[in-house]
A and B are shown apart, each in its own frame.
Chain A
Amino acid sequence: MNRAIVRLFAVMVLLFAVLVAFTSRWTVFSATALQNNPLNKLGFYASEKIKTGDLLADNGSVLAKAVPATGGIWKRKYPFGSLFAQPVGYSILQTGQTAGLERYRASQLRGVKTGLTSVFGSLGGSQVGDDVQTTLDPKAQALARTLLKGRTGSVIAIVPQTGAVKVMYSNPTYNDNDPQAYYDSVTACKPNPFKIGCTYNLATQGLFPPGSTFKVVTSTAALDSGKYTPQSIIDGSSPLEVSGRPLENDGDQSWGEISLTTALVNSVNTVYAQVGQNVGAKLMETYMKRFGFYSEPPLDYPASEMLTSGERLNGKLIAPTNPNVDLGRMSIGQDKLLVTPLQMAMVVSAVADGGVLMEPRLTTKVVNSDGQVVQRFAPTEYDRVMKPKTASELTQMMEDVVEEGTGTAAQLDGVKVAGKTGTASVGKSQDGQPLDDAWFIGFAPVSDPKIAVVVTLENIPNGYGGIYAAPIAAQLIKTLLAEDR
């Protein structure tokens, strides 16, 4: 019988080997697949128990924090609600829905695990998240909301030398403490997510024709390539035949032979159409790409919540060299050109920073619960768009716009402001009035730019940028410069 017992034992050893093999299968070989299984909520439960860190404004105000919920879990609270909803976003653990910085900086807010936590778990305490410092300025942000007076539009303010985004406010907004309502409103917008009135971040996702603000880009290409100087004389007669159709100046005004500076100051379309055509599609594309067109915006923000600027045909990006592009009209910010306010903020801050474009950013550092800085997001150069000489010439031209041209409403006492207005025709209202997108892009002080601002207002009847957008920019610049002092 003993031989049979040995054989039986061998069978038992085999059975146990199968058990070890299957345990290995679940713990090692199939572990990743199991962890990615949509039914596996372990990771989500673990994150629910972590006291996530705060998102902090530049003055230390708390933009987002963890508050205890029933059952030893934490949920996120947003003290400012709709004021910062778009840059901050939200995070609902129960459904896994996240947006904005809450999504982009989720791992930092959860806290980074360090070496010794594995074998016996984190000895003596639960994992605590880290705080993330943002660049946002609550006072200026609140002012931007006040100045928009509920109109659909967006306000961005950036420090040109660092790319720090001080203000990013858009209407319509939503209360990020109640994202369910937000989701309901999105559902209502489902047929057309870009429909006006739908809740999304206009600053990064809103696509608008840039209108005459794009003449800053055309000017950059014209001056930096050496094909033009601010004093170059061009014929400003109206109308001008462009791509087989007549192109008119505002009010069909003929300006005759004028300098490039005068053309920018008075936003002369016919001049800039010729300049763009003369510079050529290839060179226009080069400069546009240096400004960030045709690329995903380099902002520290979820890529899926940002759109790329450029010529678009049936929703798809097409290069300026594409035969479908009307180069003359593109050069004055029309044709099929669609840009985000963020893109124009990058354009204007590059001019303000002597031609160097810094990556815009919303966060600067990660601080752990002991107050130690565990991660820094240093200012990063995106591209050298133009020569310093070009930048200073362009600054002078834009200063003249505010001094004596279309942007006089942006003037401030004691501070020189440089800027460019934009008025992009987008259609007619029901009572037949022309509707425009009103733009102002600018920076100040001219001698030592501290802040660059972009104001975009959507669908304003007869909405001249110089009338509607420029005063908002002026107020904002005034407040931000006062704070800076």
Chain B
Amino acid sequence: MRARNRELFGLLSAALLITAGFAAVFIQESGKLSNVSLIYGAIFLGLCVAGHIFIRVTLPNADPYIFPLVAVLACFGLVMVYRIAGATEARQQAQWFVLGLVLFAGTVIVFREYRKLENYRYLIVIGSILFMVLPRVPGLEAATQTQTYGAYLEIHLGSLTFQPTEFAKIGLVIFLASYLRDHRQALAEGRKVLGYRVPPLKHLGPVLLLWGIAMLILVFLRDIGSSLMFYGGLLSIIYVATQRVSFVVVGLVAFGVGAWYLGTHIPHIDSRVQAWLHPFRPSLYYAQTGSSYQIANGLFSQSAGGLFGQGFGQALLTIPGTNDAYIPLPDTDMIYAVITDELGLFGSAALLLIYLLLVARGFKAAMLARDSFSKLMATGLSAILAIQVFVIVGGVTRVIPFTGVTLPFVSYGGSSIMANFILVALLLLVSDRARRPSTI
């Protein structure tokens, strides 16, 4: 089967999945099967086919699995958001999905020669950093929602809310890929000091700068999750570029020291660590600020899921008799807990497998790419996506302290969907170029 036909086939299964998912939720909600579920399925199928035709025309050689995998994730997310937050949010999520597709198409068309991005790398990195600190600019923070759970994550423009870090991660990957393409040789060799190769400072400088940026995000935005995600992406690219484990080790130690220092000196971060270590301590569970309520309830929810889950629509979301959420942020940060509750270990493991397949296809594109910049960019984008999943799912499952990043394509939220569609567009661009039968 030709690549594009395989893609179409994959999309058909995604459309079936969303139809079945909506049907299940509808039966649960209203006790009857509604044709609305079919309409949703049809609309979604139409969108996917449009996307598919666009790829067929513009990126005929691109990896055939990436788009269907993204479609499965997005449609699964849509069903979960519909089930958790309701029809209004689901419609909004669907709109963002459409907007994401438009951005996807725009990226493919505008950055068809994506390697010209290299020319603007300093512009991109400075722009990304400025974009990230926007939430601290006085006029742009909404009066009511200045801090989202202790972190500065959002900017408000009129009725629109942006999470700049979602977009900035792409900019930083592009910069690093481009920078390391030029300097990786110098970084990898360096001079020998006391038996160790130490890279020359002028080449290492910008890399150290990024470490500084990660720490700055931690201090300034108080956003451990994004910081961890950026830093993980950074180390991944450096490792692939230089193939030196020592960078990774030194980098992890440096991050660990920095995180420890900040963790013990910034109350917001310290309380996250305490909640992670002792989620079931009643004094922490019932604490007014920095409580372990969210993480503990998330774990209770997961335990209710068991192997196969309680079924769609069965997880307890609001405390009976009140309007309070049982797990705060069930449709964004904690969505994984709700998924495990309703679909069980098997459902969650399947979801993680889909992410892993997507990451694998991303790495595959990187391996097939013929130039270093493409390789490093695809590696960085795939790695940062994987690490984002690890950071949020690891937080919900108590592998690491809980930090708020979104579950890509699944969590409710426009910035996440749109930014990740740009990410996928770049991956497909790399893949299409790499698989082109006769280049140059």
User: Whole-angstrom distance from the CB of A447 to the nearest CB of chain B?
Assistant: 57
Query: What residues of A have a CB within 8 angstroms of the CB of B319 in the complex?
Result: 45
Bound-state Cα–Cα, A13 to B355, Å = 10
The chain A residue sitting closest to B362, CB to CB, is A9
Bound-state Cα–Cα, A69 to B321, Å = 8
User: Whole-angstrom distance from the CB of A11 to the nearest CB of chain B?
Assistant: 8
Task: Report the number of A-B residue pairs with Cβ-Cβ less than 8 Å.
Answer: 153
The interface on chain B, measured as residues whose beta carbon lies within 8 A of the other chain's beta carbons, has a size of 62
Segment at the interface with B among A25-33, A204-212, A249-257: A25-33
A45 touches B356 (CB 8 A): no
A13 touches B310 (CB 8 A): no
Q: Say whether B11 faces chain A, with CB atoms less than 8 Å apart.
A: no
B236 touches A8 (CB 8 A): yes
Q: Say whether A22 faces chain B, with CB atoms less than 8 Å apart.
A: yes
User: Whole-angstrom distance from the CB of B398 to the nearest CB of chain A?
Assistant: 7
Q: Say whether A71 faces chain B, with CB atoms less than 8 Å apart.
A: yes
Tell me which of A16, A20, A46 has the highest count of chain B C-beta atoms within 10 A of its own C-beta.
Answer: A16
Q: Say whether A482 faces chain B, with CB atoms less than 8 Å apart.
A: no
B326 touches A26 (CB 8 A): no
A8 touches B394 (CB 8 A): no
Contact with B306, one of A19, A27, A39 (Cβ below 8 angstroms): A27
Query: What residues of A have a CB within 8 angstroms of the CB of B397 in the complex?
Result: 19, 22-23, 25-26
A123 touches B27 (CB 8 A): yes
User: Whole-angstrom distance from the CB of A481 to the nearest CB of chain B?
Assistant: 48
Q: Say whether A432 faces chain B, with CB atoms less than 8 Å apart.
A: no
The chain A residue sitting closest to B300, CB to CB, is A40
The chain A residue sitting closest to B342, CB to CB, is A121
Bound-state Cα–Cα, A28 to B308, Å = 10
Q: Say whether A2 faces chain B, with CB atoms less than 8 Å apart.
A: yes
Bound-state Cα–Cα, A13 to B335, Å = 22
Q: Say whether A231 faces chain B, with CB atoms less than 8 Å apart.
A: no
Bound-state Cα–Cα, A4 to B243, Å = 6
User: Whole-angstrom distance from the CB of B62 to the nearest CB of chain A?
Assistant: 18
A37 touches B280 (CB 8 A): yes
B321 touches A72 (CB 8 A): yes
B320 touches A5 (CB 8 A): no
Query: What residues of A have a CB within 8 angstroms of the CB of B366 in the complex?
Result: 5
A19 touches B393 (CB 8 A): yes
Bound-state Cα–Cα, A353 to B341, Å = 55
Tell me which of A16, A27, A45, A118 has the highest count of chain B C-beta atoms within 10 A of its own C-beta.
Answer: A27
User: Whole-angstrom distance from the CB of B360 to the nearest CB of chain A?
Assistant: 7
A contact patch SS: helix
Bound-state Cα–Cα, A118 to B348, Å = 17
Chain A interface size, as a band, is 35 or more
Chain B, 303-361, CB within 8 A of any chain A CB: 303-308, 310-314, 316, 319-322, 326, 340, 344-345, 348-349, 352, 355-356, 359-360
Contact with A121, one of B314, B344, B375, B387 (Cβ below 8 angstroms): B314
A4 touches B280 (CB 8 A): no
A24 touches B321 (CB 8 A): no
Given known contacts A8-B379, A71-B322, A31 and B390 CB-to-CB distance under 8 angstroms: no
Query: What residues of B have a CB within 8 angstroms of the CB of A26 in the complex?
Result: 299, 302-303, 340, 397-398
Bound-state Cα–Cα, A32 to B241, Å = 47
A12 touches B356 (CB 8 A): yes
Given known contacts A19-B397, A22-B399, A121-B311, A1 and B345 CB-to-CB distance under 8 angstroms: no
Contact with B303, one of A27, A71, A73 (Cβ below 8 angstroms): A27
B301 touches A42 (CB 8 A): yes
A23 touches B348 (CB 8 A): yes
Query: What residues of B have a CB within 8 angstroms of the CB of A4 in the complex?
Result: 239-240, 243
Q: Say whether B367 faces chain A, with CB atoms less than 8 Å apart.
A: yes
User: Whole-angstrom distance from the CB of B238 to the nearest CB of chain A?
Assistant: 10
Chain A, 46-89, CB within 8 A of any chain B CB: 46, 48-49, 69-73
Tell me which of B320, B345, B397 has the highest count of chain A C-beta atoms within 10 A of its own C-beta.
Answer: B320
Bound-state Cα–Cα, A22 to B276, Å = 14
Q: Say whether B161 faces chain A, with CB atoms less than 8 Å apart.
A: no
Bound-state Cα–Cα, A72 to B320, Å = 7
Contact with A5, one of B282, B310, B356, B367 (Cβ below 8 angstroms): B367
B contact patch SS: helix
Query: What residues of A have a CB within 8 angstroms of the CB of B24 in the complex?
Result: 120
Contact with A along B126-167 (1 / 0, CB 8 A): 000000000000000000000000000000000000000000
Bound-state Cα–Cα, A70 to B376, Å = 58
User: Whole-angstrom distance from the CB of A357 to the nearest CB of chain B?
Assistant: 45
Bound-state Cα–Cα, A5 to B362, Å = 10
Query: What residues of B have a CB within 8 angstroms of the CB of A46 in the complex?
Result: 316
User: Whole-angstrom distance from the CB of B321 to the nearest CB of chain A?
Assistant: 3
Query: What residues of B have a CB within 8 angstroms of the CB of A120 in the complex?
Result: 24, 27-28, 311-312
Chain A, 107-138, CB within 8 A of any chain B CB: 118-121, 123-125
Q: Say whether B271 faces chain A, with CB atoms less than 8 Å apart.
A: no
B302 touches A27 (CB 8 A): yes
Query: What residues of B have a CB within 8 angstroms of the CB of A72 in the complex?
Result: 320-321
Given known contacts A1-B375, A27-B302, A120-B27, A15 and B390 CB-to-CB distance under 8 angstroms: yes
Bound-state Cα–Cα, A24 to B386, Å = 20
Q: Say whether A35 faces chain B, with CB atoms less than 8 Å apart.
A: yes
Bound-state Cα–Cα, A24 to B308, Å = 11
B313 touches A121 (CB 8 A): yes
Query: What residues of A have a CB within 8 angstroms of the CB of B344 in the complex?
Result: 27
Q: Say whether B296 faces chain A, with CB atoms less than 8 Å apart.
A: yes
A49 touches B386 (CB 8 A): no
Q: Say whether B285 faces chain A, with CB atoms less than 8 Å apart.
A: yes
Given known contacts A5-B367, A22-B398, A125-B31, A15 and B345 CB-to-CB distance under 8 angstroms: no
Tell me which of A15, A45, A71, A124 has the highest count of chain B C-beta atoms within 10 A of its own C-beta.
Answer: A15
A8 touches B345 (CB 8 A): no
A119 touches B316 (CB 8 A): no
The chain B residue sitting closest to A123, CB to CB, is B27
A23 touches B394 (CB 8 A): no
In the A-B complex, the 3 residue pairs with the smallest Cβ-Cβ separation, listed nearest first, are A71-B321, A34-B303, A22-B397
Sample 12 A-B pairs with CB under 8 A, ordered by A number.
Answer: A4-B239, A5-B363, A8-B240, A19-B394, A27-B306, A27-B340, A34-B300, A39-B285, A73-B320, A120-B24, A121-B314, A125-B31
